[in-house]
Amino acid sequence: MLGKPKKTEPKLFYHGVSLERRVPSEHPLRKIKQLVDFDFIRSQVAELYGTNGNQSVDPAVILKLMFLLFYENIKSERALMRQLPLRLDWLWFCDYDLDEVTPDHSVLSKARNRWGTEVFETFFMNILEQCINAGLVDGETIYIDSSTIDGNADIGKVRPQLREITEKLTDKLDDDDQQEKLAKRVNPADPDARIGRKYGKSTLGYKDHRVVDDQFGVITSTITTPANTRDDKVLKQSIHTHQSNTGTEPGITAADKIYGTIDNYKFLHDKGAKACIPHQRHGRKKAGQFSHDKFVYDKEQDCYICPAGHKLTALKHRGSYVGNERYRAERKTCEECIFFKECVSSKTLGRQICHKVGCEYIEWADNCLPKSERKSLLARRQYRAEGSFADGANNYGFKRARWRGIAKMEIQNLMIAAIQNLGKLLRYCHNNGELVGPLMAIKAAFRRVSRLFLELLPTGMPCVSEY
């Protein structure tokens, strides 16, 4: 029998309606509400509020609303507050009733400006500590990487701008070099954003530099910088932040070759850590020449030995080669060599080799791990570190700046990283914090034992790494 058209008459009163019963027991927000403590914020921001005036919205509710902004990947706070009355699960999560008036979107922006970044750093650390206590963070092997975030400003409207100069620097304004250093290409809408270039594309915005733990992919550190910041300059700060957040010192640090500088290698060497970081190959082979690695450095005689057995001695006058030492063979010696045409390209000089100051750290980085383990770690880095950024971009709006200013971008990156870590916690742990992925823990332990076994093997010929 065909059913009758449904005509619903709105009731004046609803009895027995409960949001608690409307939210399913397996709903993710129910698990999050049980696992995450949002109430810590009340004591942390209490001093930021006065004793007179109107009563503010509960800070714990504001933090929950900001959590939903990123967890549900809502484009803006206005859109979030428009959808809030329509979502029963959101109302229940924020402790609102059906007929209760929800706050205006301006409450969220005012709270952000009032609280600063410290509150969100604490929130990130609370989630990270839960991951550490649950055994999801090993700290032995870490991956460092960065990703560019498009700023909330138009790159086509950037213009040169001089910073404000104090009276002490007024006399230096006549110096053209000083003016060039002070000039910055900025967009007035977001003066903290800078133009960075990656993969052949220019972006006005910021960078998020992350440290990701190898065991379960938990993010242990996030540092926000303008987009024009060089990645290799942030490695030391990233490791220090990782140590401070986790209380562990990494045994192995893996990253891509943009981090492969002598300064970073020396830093890791002095800390007693191992580097799995490739680098730009210096002295690449040109057409008709022997490559740099065909020449052997003799430390005792301070010279290089060419494939034919001849010496390349150090030059006394290095010219403008700061940080490098030049070694050259006599032109007459090279002309008498059977490899002359294959080795020398200069029309007047003998073969020359550039010896980087501190190159012993490059050799250390190339040989401190077996080649097979380096390949394995660099492959894992792709889905641990790069996969972390991909997850943030696909699910939480990581690649787009919701606000303007580097302080607000720090808040965005901290919240997204905390939510991603929370996802690991929900996936691998029960509500009581016990690890439910024993097989993955066993695999992690097996990797550590394998690494120790490889270190005990007798070393043969020095390995020339080809990443």
Which residues have CB under 8 Å from 213's CB, separation 6+?
136, 137, 138, 139, 141, 142, 219, 220, 246
Asked if pLDDT for residue 64 goes beyond 90, the answer is: yes
CA-closest candidate to residue 420, choices 381, 382, 393, 402: 393
Tokens of 363: 């050799």
What is the per-residue pLDDT for 295? 84
Beta bridge partners of 131: none
Residue listed under structure tokens 């097979």:
372
The yes-or-no verdict on residue 297 having pLDDT over 70 is yes
Q: Is 50 exceeded by the pLDDT of residue 300?
A: yes
- Assess contact for 371 and 246: CB atoms under 8 A: no
Concatenated DSSP letters for 267-298? HHHHHT-EEE---PPSSPPPTT---GGGSEEE
Statement: residue 313 has pLDDT above 70: yes
How much is the average pLDDT of 167-189?
53
Q: What angle do CA 236, 238, 240 make, to 5 degrees?
A: 70
Q: Exposure string (b/e) for 213-246, b if CB count within 10 Å is 16 or more?
A: bbbbbbbbbbbbbbbbbebbebbeebbebbbebb
- Domain spans, the chain: 19-115, 125-153+199-279+365-456, 292-358
Specify the range with the lowest mean pLDDT, choosing from 213-227, 273-287, 404-418.
273-287
What mean pLDDT comes out for the span 158-165? Answer: 59
Cα four-point dihedral sign 88, 94, 95, 99:
negative
pLDDT of 456 above 90: no
Exposure string for 140-159, b = 16+ CB within 10 A, e = fewer: bbbbbbbbbbebbbeeeebe
Higher model confidence: residue 229 or residue 441?
Answer: 229
Average pLDDT of span 320-338: 78
For domain 125-153+199-279+365-456, give its CATH number from 3.30.1490.480, 3.50.50.60, 3.30.420.10, 3.30.70.2190. 3.30.420.10
pLDDT at residue 393, as a whole number: 94
> pLDDT at residue 439 above 60?
no
Query: pLDDT at residue 133 above 50?
Result: yes
pTM: 0.79
Nearest-angstrom CA–CA distance, 203 and 185: 12
Q: What is the mean pLDDT of residues 236-263?
A: 92
pLDDT score, position 462? 39
**pLDDT top residue among 204 and 286:** 204
Distances (CA, A) of 183 to 27, 166, 186, 195: 52, 15, 9, 13
H or E segment at 432? none
Least confident of 3-17, 260-274, 330-344: 3-17
Mean pLDDT over the full length of the chain: 81
Q: If pLDDT is split at 50, 70 and 90, which confidence band does 434 have?
A: low
Split at pLDDT 50, 70, 90, the class of 264 is very high
Judge whether residue 285 has pLDDT over 70.
Answer: no
Element (H, E) at 422: helix 406-428
